Amino acid sequence: MFTSLRAARVATFSYFALNGFVLGIWVVHIPAVEQRAGISHATLGWLLLLLGGGAFAGMQITGPLTDRFGARLVVPVSGVFLSAALVLPALATEAWALGAALLVLGLGNGCLDVSMNAHAVQVEAAYRRPVMSAFHAMFSIGGVLASVLSARTLSWGWGPATTLSLVAVAGVVVAVVSFPGLLARPQNAPAEEEPAERKRRPVPLQIWVLAALALMLMLSEGAAADWSALAMRDVLGASPATAALAYGAFATAMTAGRFVIDRVAARVGPVAVLRWGAALAALALVLVVWSPSIPVALAGWTLFGAGLAGTIPQLFSAAGHSDPAAAATNVSRVAGLGYLGMLAGPAVIGALTHVVPLNVAFLLPLVFCAIAAVSAGTLRKGGPAGVARGHGTPAGVGEGYQPR
């Protein structure tokens, strides 16, 4: 059966949007779920660690499974799993039940995250040009749509069980309907190795470097998500409404940037995107740390989002292209460590505020962005440079693909 690349790209867009939409719906309903379960904010904070732990475990499990069975099988199964798991937190009435529900929801998130990124690498290889950043933009769009829908359903007085159940059903439908567009494993894919042989293969140093960079950059992203508004309020004395614009400016710039980064990467290459994007993010944090006024700080957060927009997609793409036989496993390593950075970011910045002012604490992500800029050359070895430039035989192009 032949699958057009256009259909494959649309299907991949659907799964990225689905992932962002499901997580966005969950985030908006956290207060209602917390109230239903009858737990404190402190207890919720601890239970949310199970969500992160489940996601990390799902990433590590799904990477090898995707390499073994193919993204065409694992992606839709993961999409159905994540969508169905969304119902569980809404049904929890006790702390232990909510903890178990969040563990399962996190597991589903990790499974879909890695498998859909692995398929995105496959689509990018077949296109022979960068397309990864736009997929990540669709994840953000899914979150935005979730917030809009949730605002409407909450205004109608719908409880979390009703909304999350309906979204779960819709998510299952999207996961199943999008399945035919996914690419099959290419005929010229590397021969499958025995599990014991695969385990003996050392992990390339490049993958660990990419994973470390993902940790630093996603920690920086997490710091912006959780502390940008507070910094505007506490450091510059902004009103709550004005302070909220900080994260809005950051998120909007990042989402918009991801829709144009692919074209930039096709012209200048992924190394330049990572180097100059991370450098711009570092310079933006200079404005944030030493901002004399609210407009300058807002400009800093906007530039920070624009700078980070293309960095993580380049790291995931490089990990997937470095070894076609272990593409998903390598993506799971980079994404897993990056996800830990995202979770740790708010806590690390919070700990630093005990010894330095909040704006000074942003010097840590500033340093991390600078390190990423200096280390951008890591993408050259085994990275998607050939895909970005359109040279060589793209991994993943063979029987079963019908470009149009």
Residues 69, 166, single domain; the answer is yes
User: CA 134, CA 12: separation in Å to the nearest integer?
Assistant: 10
| One domain, residues 175 and 215 | no
In a domain, 61, yes or no: yes
pLDDT at residue 144, as a whole number: 87
Residues 97 and 226 in one domain: no
Per-residue confidence (pLDDT) for residue 392, from 0 to 100:
35
Same domain? 140 vs 216 = no
- From 148, 182, 216, the end of a domain falls on 182
Q: What is the pLDDT of residue 401?
A: 38
Report pLDDT for 199: 55
- How many angstroms separate the Cα of 368 from the Cα of each of 213, 225, 279, 348? 8, 16, 10, 13
Same domain flag for 238 and 166? no
68: nearest Cα among 190, 211, 200, 180: 190
Q: Would residue 191 count as lying in a domain?
A: no
Q: Is residue 196 part of a domain?
A: no
Domain boundary among 122, 149, 182: 182
Q: Residue 269 CB: number of other CB atoms within 10 A?
A: 21
Asked if 58 contacts 106 with a C-beta cutoff of 8 angstroms, the reply is: yes
The answer on 358 and 320 residing in a single domain is: yes
Q: CA-CA distance, 51 to 48, in Å (whole number)? A: 5
The predicted pLDDT at position 296 comes to: 94
Q: How many domains does the chain divide into?
A: 2
Q: Within 10 Å of residue 375's Cβ, how many Cβ atoms?
A: 17
CATH number of domain containing 128: 1.20.1250.20
Number of neighbouring beta carbons within 10 Å of residue 202: 6
**CB distance 311 to 372 below 8 Å:** yes
pLDDT of residue 386: 47
Is residue 56 within 8 Å of residue 336, measured between CB atoms? Answer: yes
Tell whether 195 is covered by a domain. no
Residue 198 domain-assigned?
A: no
**Does residue 276 fall inside a structural domain?**
yes
Tell me if 193 is assigned to some domain. Answer: no
Shared domain check, 152 and 23: yes
Question: CA angle, corner 63, sides to 62 and 64, nearest 5?
Answer: 95
Together in a domain, 154 and 214: no
Are residues 210 and 169 part of one domain? no
Same domain? For 355 and 221 the reply is yes
Q: Mind listing the pLDDT tens digit of every residue in the chain (404 residues)?
A: 455 889 999 999 999 999 999 998 998 888 889 889 998 878 887 888 899 899 999 999 999 999 999 999 999 999 999 999 999 999 999 999 999 999 999 999 999 999 999 999 999 999 989 999 999 999 999 988 988 888 888 889 898 999 999 999 999 999 999 999 999 876 545 545 555 455 556 788 899 999 999 999 999 998 888 788 888 888 888 888 788 888 888 989 999 999 999 999 999 999 999 999 999 999 999 999 998 899 999 999 999 999 999 999 999 999 999 888 888 999 999 999 999 988 888 788 888 988 988 889 999 999 999 999 999 998 875 444 445 444 333 333 333 333 33
| Statement to judge: residues 337 and 221 lie in one domain | yes
Q: What is the pLDDT of residue 379?
A: 85
134 and 242 in a common domain: no
Query: What is the pLDDT at residue 384?
Result: 46
pLDDT at res. 152: 87
Position 404 in a domain: no
Domain interval for residue 265: 205-389
| pLDDT number for residue 233 | 86
pLDDT at 324: 84
